[in-house]
């Protein structure tokens, strides 16, 4: 039995279907990310689970109990909002204790639990400060402590790290994961940062226009996306769209949308007449100055290079389209330059055939 089971969840605002039949199953203690572009329905999903909105259709079941008709305060779910929503006139301690005071818990018990949680989120020494006297990362910790102190059945985090700068965000990602693991709390984390979703999650659910397109482990969703949308949203990808016009063992030829013909090998069989999208990630392609042997390749001309420290991205005009190739900068070898004629190769196992 799944700890969290969302069945056919549907939400409309007027004529606009914002969530269309969402199904999501989460095992106890797992960390799931909802990843998708702005407006796809991530926050709405969290709001329906927490009870801030009512669903038009569907069920939310936590630990065997149907909760979607319960009022917010009876659901016992911790939510951290993107804006943190801390009470500005209360200090750290008071902000954290608020949820327990609402629940009429004894002063002594509150004191003990506030101390414990302040220790856990590393806010010792900051108890008397007001939110505006804290950094973004510290405010984030207060918001997390406030959500966790009620010992919620589920933790919902809405883009809660996105206000932090990159370095602090990565630190908070690790801290958040450690706390989550330690308490073993089942967590749904909303983000539109694909790297954050991949590094933190047991599973990633990719959403688009109110639907979950794919839910899978980070590795599977990156290496084996089911659609070109998922491939494109999680990192970068080259797409060669066209119709298969010939086949011989593992060697195929396609007529691309732009009327160029293109030969490639594939371990996955496709049929003549199929409309396919051959998909290859930029880091799985290689560039060469000389014609590579024993592999099939395409020829092109470097049009643009973006240096990003550990890697460089080469935009290469090939087959009348732009092909992106990423190269790790292991050595200080920057001998490929704009205007160079190059060959691009890849292993047939690195490509993927998609149909939409």
Ligand X SMILES: Nc1ncnc2c1ncn2[C@@H]1O[C@H](COP(=O)(O)OP(=O)(O)OP(=O)(O)O)[C@@H](O)[C@H]1O
Using rule CB under 6 A, residue 33 touches ligand X: no
Task: Report the partner that residue 318 touches, choosing among Mg ion, ligand X, none (CB closer than 5 to 8 A by kind).
Answer: none
Using rule CB under 6 A, residue 162 touches ligand X: no
Beta-carbon contacts of residue 1 (< 8 Å; ≥ 6 apart): 64
Residue 324: φ, ψ to 5°: -100, 130
Q: How far is the CB of 14 from ligand X (least distance, A)?
A: 7
Task: Report the partner that residue 57 touches, choosing among Mg ion, ligand X, none (CB closer than 5 to 8 A by kind).
Answer: none
Using rule CB under 5 A, residue 43 touches Mg ion: yes
Using rule CB under 6 A, residue 40 touches ligand X: yes
Q: Which residue sits closest to Mg ion, CB atoms considered?
A: 43
> By rule CB under 5 A, what count of residues binds Mg ion?
1
What is the distance between the terminal CA atoms of the chain, rounded to a whole angstrom? Answer: 33
Using rule CB under 6 A, residue 269 touches ligand X: no
Nearer to Mg ion, 43 or 238 (CB): 43
Nearer to Mg ion, 40 or 354 (CB): 40
Nearer to ligand X, 49 or 344 (CB): 49
Near ligand X by CB under 6 A: residue from 9, 26, 33, 42: 42
Question: Quick one: which of 262, 67, 259 has its CA closest to 152?
Answer: 67
Q: How far is the CB of 190 from ligand X (least distance, A)?
A: 7
Q: How far is the CB of 68 from ligand X (least distance, A)?
A: 17
* Residues 34 and 40 sit within 8 Å (Cβ to Cβ): no
Choices 41-49, 222-230, 248-256, 316-324 (CB under 6 A): range interacting with ligand X: 41-49
Using rule CB under 5 A, residue 160 touches Mg ion: no
Nearer to ligand X, 219 or 232 (CB): 232
Task: Report the partner that residue 99 touches, choosing among Mg ion, ligand X, none (CB closer than 5 to 8 A by kind).
Answer: none
| Binding residues for ligand X (CB under 6 A) | 13, 18, 36, 38-44, 192
| Binding residues for Mg ion (CB under 5 A) | 43
């Amino acid at each position: 039995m799944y700890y969290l089971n969302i069945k056919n969840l549907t939400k409309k605002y007027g004529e606009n279907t914002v969530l269309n039949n969402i199904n999501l199953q989460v095992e106890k203690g797992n960390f799931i990310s909802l990843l998708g572009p702005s407006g796809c329905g991530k926050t709405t999903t969290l709001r329906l689970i927490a009870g801030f909105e009512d669903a038009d259709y569907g069920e939310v079941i936590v630990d065997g109990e149907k909760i979607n008709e319960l009022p917010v305060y009876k659901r016992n779910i911790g939510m951290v909002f993107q804006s943190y929503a801390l009470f500005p006139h209360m200090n750290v301690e008071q902000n954290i204790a608020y949820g327990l005071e609402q629940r009429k818990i004894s002063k002594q018990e509150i004191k003990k639990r506030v101390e414990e949680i302040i220790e856990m989120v590393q806010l010792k020494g900051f108890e008397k400060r007001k939110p505006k006297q804290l950094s973004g990362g510290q405010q984030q910790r207060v918001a997390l402590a406030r959500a966790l102190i009620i010992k919620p059945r589920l933790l919902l985090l809405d883009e809660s790290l996105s206000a932090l700068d990159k370095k602090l965000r990565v630190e908070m990602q690790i801290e958040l994961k450690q706390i989550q693991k330690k308490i073993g709390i089942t967590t749904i984390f909303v983000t539109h940062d694909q790297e954050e979703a991949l590094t933190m999650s047991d599973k990633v659910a990719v959403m688009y226009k109110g639907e979950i397109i794919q839910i899978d482990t980070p590795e599977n969703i990156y290496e084996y996306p089911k659609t070109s949308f998922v491939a494109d949203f999680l990192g970068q990808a080259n797409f060669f769209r066209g119709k298969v016009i010939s086949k011989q063992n593992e060697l195929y030829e396609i007529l691309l949308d732009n009327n160029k013909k293109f030969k490639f090998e594939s371990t996955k069989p496709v049929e003549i007449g199929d409309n396919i999208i051959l998909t290859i990630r930029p880091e799985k392609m290689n560039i060469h100055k000389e014609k590579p042997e024993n592999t099939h390749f395409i020829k092109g001309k470097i049009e643009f290079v973006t240096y990003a420290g550990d890697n460089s991205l080469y935009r290469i005009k090939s087959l009348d389209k732009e092909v992106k190739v990423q190269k790790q900068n292991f050595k200080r070898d920057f001998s490929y330059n704009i205007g160079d004629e190059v060959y691009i190769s890849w292993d047939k196992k690195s490509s993927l055939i998609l149909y939409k």
